[in-house]
Amino acid sequence: MASIKRSLESDPLQSNISSKVYVRSTKSGKVQKIVCEVYLRQDIPCSSKLCHRCREIAPTDSAGQPIPFVLSGAPAGTSVYPNGHYLVPDTNAFLSAMDLFEQSSGFYDVVVLQIVLEELRNRSLPLYNRLVGLTKSEDKRFYVFFNEFRLETYINRLDGESVNDRNDRAVRKAVAWYGEHLARTKAKQIPTVVMLSNDRENLRKAKNEGIAACSLANYVRQLEDGEHLLDMIPETEDGEMIKEKRPNELFYPEYFSMSKMMTGVKGGVLHQGTFNVSPYNYLEGSIRVPAFPKSLLILGRENINRAVDGDLVVVEVLPKDQWKEPSTQVIEEEAITKNENPDTEEGSSLVTERERKALQEEVKRTHSKTTEGHAQPTVRVVGVVKRNWRQYVGHIDQTSVSQSAQQGRKQDTVFVIPMDKKIPKIRLRTRQVAELVGKRILVTIDAWDRDSRHPTGHFVRSLGELETKAAETEALLLEYDVQYRPFPKTVLDCLPKEGHDWKVPTSTDDPGWRDREDLRHLGICSIDPIGCQDIDDALHSRPLPNGNFEVGVHIADVSHFVRPNNAMDMEASIRGTTVYLVDKRIDMLPMLLGTDLCSLKPYVERYAFSVLWELTPDADIVNMRFTKSVIKSREAFSYEQAQLRVEDASQQDDLTKSIRVLMALSRKLKQKRMDAGALSLSSPEVKVQMESETSDPIDVKTKQHLDTMSLVEEFMLLANVSVARKIYEAFPQTALLRRHGAPPKTNFDELANQLRVKKGLELSVESSRALADSLDTCVDPKEPFFNTLIRIMATRCMMAAEYFCSGTQAYPEFRHYGLASEIYTHFTSPIRRYADLVAHRQLAAAIEYEAVHPSVRSRGRLEAVCKNINVRHRNAQLAGRASIAYYVGQALRGKATEEDGFIMKIFSNGFVVLVPRFGIESLIRLRDLAEPEPSAEYDAETYTLKTSGSREIKVELFQKVRVLVTDQKDETTGKRGVKMEFVKAY
């Protein structure tokens, strides 16, 4: 038998082939060795416009055109590199200071090595996406050099060498090759190729090897605008900024090693989960873990041990005699830590005197009552598995600024107070204190060492003056990580070349009509909020000869325009959803598609994806089918217009009759859902009215619920359930679905006890049906809003709904608790949600309209998509609410109005009031009632607070109260919001 093994003699290119060996463990626990052959080439260009040799050998693009060279032929010089220079950063540089590379005042002609790009993608996907964006910028001139495929720059890993050391050596090898390669160009001025790194060992080795290398701080000092840019370098990376650490200044306990933590978690001795900070007490946090039915409590700085809200942490349960009750006191960081000196960590104790007093008051209160059985398991953080640090919006705490810092340009240390009250104050060293006081600024946390009470960070950029609309809107978008930058050219290039002139082809023989059903004859209309431009859905109904009805839901066929894995699809998958703010919309797709070509506007033909049912008069489904279609909507109604039309008996046209049939059927569908146990929950909903010319807020209205809203909702729910069943049937492992987990019964313990004690009502949580029925009984004959209040509070006890890939859960876990549906997905809003776009592709494949694209069959890819869109969906909701809160504050500016409110939560030193008129809630502290602060008696058993002294009042949970509502700038967060003053209790 002839051997298939190639010999060097028989294959002259064999010397250009290298092997990469990977070892991985299989599910069965066996070790598998994988060998990948890498073909090493010599035609990968350096991309410098100085190099004619590379231009001759460089490959061409798919059209046969030469690939344009990126790096300038006359790169800028500095005092150290007067002949010009190219930069080659290592992974460490991008990880620690990506903000620097995005600055317009420097960092041009940058070689991004393949090994660095790959390492960055493994370490931080958000930073990787930002770097990819820079490589697409024509202005910045960032060039990706495939050093792992170029013969002269590829290196094998040495015996005993770590992956990190091998990658650092690969970077140095590429820098050295670039320098030697350019020296052979015979140009008049040869640019210096400079390695940028903050890794001291890498810099030392580069120096020994004769390679030009520089730390970020030293390089920035050479730039014209260097003084300002120095603030953007992490303090931990700038050798001149790092202070001497003395062992007696260590405040926090040392973290366990990763191996010790993982061993402890596996053995059940330690527990892993996400750390959440209480919104009312910065010294209290909680963590939910599978081993305990209730959240575990974390109290005090030492036990929190440098964890920041959202971090994935490992905790150790404290002995039972140290278990405590959750705090009943509002403890705000700014009040306790005011006037702290950011330059010195005063005292040798971690817990300051003020914090100790605040915690002691809690301990006294805890021991003053018979609290046996009320204590919760209490834990301490022993390590952080994954930090949730991001860029934070905040402003400089005026009380931390020294007199000298406001005048000179010397570097000073100040505190930044983040907009998010759950995030601790951040120590910041900056040379721009005078310019930044009174501004909204963006900062990043770099480290939180054991010897510092607070995390340290660096300045990224200024957003503008506090309270200006532009600065506050951008701050809001950054705070919730909304991708708001304009769509790049690569995305816009994916749009139809005809632009707004695109039309559905007139000939049904056109490829665009392939397998589409012509539904232009149907009486289709859309019903949406006033002013809606991105119309995703439309409906129709018509009677059938057998007495049943044909009902159709027609959804914009976005997948026709957005093809899998092109630039527009990748951008949409990153954005995840459209974000709706009071004054603007941040689109997931370019406006041409969202508000025109995909939007199911009236009187024009549009591509759609239709779900068609035959329903009996009792709304039972006889049959259903799915088809790509072409429709022509007859009318675009607002909810209000459709409601008036239905109620006007004189309107007897076909369109109105169709809406009336849909209305009748939707009521029966809703009743079926309610009978199955669907929940009718609630959240405060208001609409801010804007002045048409200036876009200034002028009034706040409570949203009115109309029957036409329920009409649309019921048929969208029916379409989503129907599509979910179809795609799961076709793709049992990879269907993109949406689930809503049943909340742990313990989530309702507090609300159930409150209702029992205050109203004598029972809340049953055995099932969604039991909960729905008991919520219906939570009524107060004297107060109609009481039931809505309880539904709002019940909503907050729920789990969050989430997208998931069907192969990752057992079928019983698919259930949507709130909708009482066994299976559910999102299909009806593909213009504004990426999940719906994926569902469209899966449905198209399920009905054999088109071949299955790998992207909708790859479980790994779909799991990553689900993870991202879950975060984006949540952030979009929070951004929308924050926008309303900001504009409600602006609408009330300079005004004062008395409104009715309801007490939702009671503390020993304050209470939270919800004002339905504005859909907002606010904390009223005892210190706000009178000067001096009245003394108070708090009864946790009956949820009652009674004050005496300077002002006497008695308030209790669920009570109706009168409050004076005004606007107020929160000196802590710098945000203008609503202030409530207590007037009287009813």
The residue among 785, 794, 978 whose CA lies nearest residue 900 is: 785
Sign of CA dihedral 183, 185, 187, 191: negative
Architecture of domain 389-479: Beta Barrel (2.40)
pLDDT score of 312: 94
Q: Residue 268, exposed/middle/buried by CB under 10 A (0-12, 13-18, 19+)?
A: exposed
Identify whether the C-beta of residue 145 lies closer than 8 Å to the C-beta of residue 45: no
Question: Helix axis angle, 639-647 relative to 707-730, nearest 10°?
Answer: 110
Identify whether the C-beta of residue 958 lies closer than 8 Å to the C-beta of residue 985: no
Q: Residue 404, exposed/middle/buried by CB under 10 A (0-12, 13-18, 19+)?
A: exposed
Architecture of domain 52-233: 3-Layer(aba) Sandwich (3.40)
Question: Helix axis angle, 785-795 relative to 749-759, nearest 10°?
Answer: 160
Per-residue burial over 710-745, b if 16 or more Cβ lie within 10 Å, else e, is bbbebbbbbbbbbbbebbbebbeebbbbbbbebbbe
Distance CA 71, CA 89 (A): 15
Q: Residue 595 corresponds to which tokens in the numbers above? A: 């508000």
Residue with tokens 């950011």: 342
894-985 fold? OB fold (Dihydrolipoamide Acetyltransferase, E2P) (2.40.50)
Helices (H), 154-233: 163-183, 200-208, 216-220, 226-229
Condensed to tens digits (0 to 9), the pLDDT of residues 590-621 reads 999 999 999 999 999 999 999 999 999 999 99
Domain spans, the chain? 52-233, 258-347+360-386, 389-479, 489-606+619-668+679-734+823-875, 894-985
pLDDT along the chain (986 residues), means of 10: 34 51 56 65 89 84 78 90 93 88 88 93 82 85 92 90 91 94 88 92 93 92 82 64 49 93 94 94 92 91 93 94 86 73 61 64 50 76 92 90 67 90 91 89 91 90 89 91 89 94 93 94 94 93 96 97 93 94 92 95 96 96 96 95 93 94 96 91 75 71 85 96 97 96 90 93 91 92 92 91 95 94 96 96 95 86 93 94 87 88 93 91 90 89 90 93 88 79 91
Cis peptide before 543 (omega within 30 of 0): no
pLDDT score of 227: 77
Residue type, 918: F
Q: Which residues contact 373 (CB under 8 A, 6 or more apart)?
A: none
Identify whether the C-beta of residue 427 lies closer than 8 Å to the C-beta of residue 446: no
pLDDT score of 241: 40
Name the phi and psi angles at 578, rounded to 5: -80, 140
Q: Residue 934, exposed/middle/buried by CB under 10 A (0-12, 13-18, 19+)?
A: middle
The residue among 757, 787, 792, 789 whose CA lies nearest residue 774 is: 787
Query: Matching CATH topology for 52-233 and 389-479?
Result: no
Cα 24-26-28 angle, rounded to 5 deg: 150
Q: In this structure, how many other beta carbons lie within 10 angstroms of the beta carbon of residue 493?
A: 11
Rg (CA), the chain: 31
Distance CA 147, CA 86 (A): 16
The reported pTM is: 0.84
**261-270 long-range Cβ contacts below 8 angstroms, 24+ apart:** 261/314, 261/382, 261/383, 261/385, 264/314, 264/316, 264/382, 265/314, 269/316, 270/314, 270/315, 270/316, 270/382
Identify whether the C-beta of residue 503 lies closer than 8 Å to the C-beta of residue 605: yes
pLDDT score of 378: 94
What top-level class would CATH report for the domain 258-347+360-386?
mainly beta
| DSSP letter for each residue of 826-858 | --S-TTTBHHHHHHHHHHHHHTTSSPPPGGGT-
Distance CA 644, CA 169 (A): 73
Q: Residue 415 corresponds to which tokens in the numbers above? A: 């505190």
pLDDT score of 360: 62
Rounded to the nearest integer, the mean pLDDT of the chain is 87
Sign of CA dihedral 124, 129, 130, 131: positive
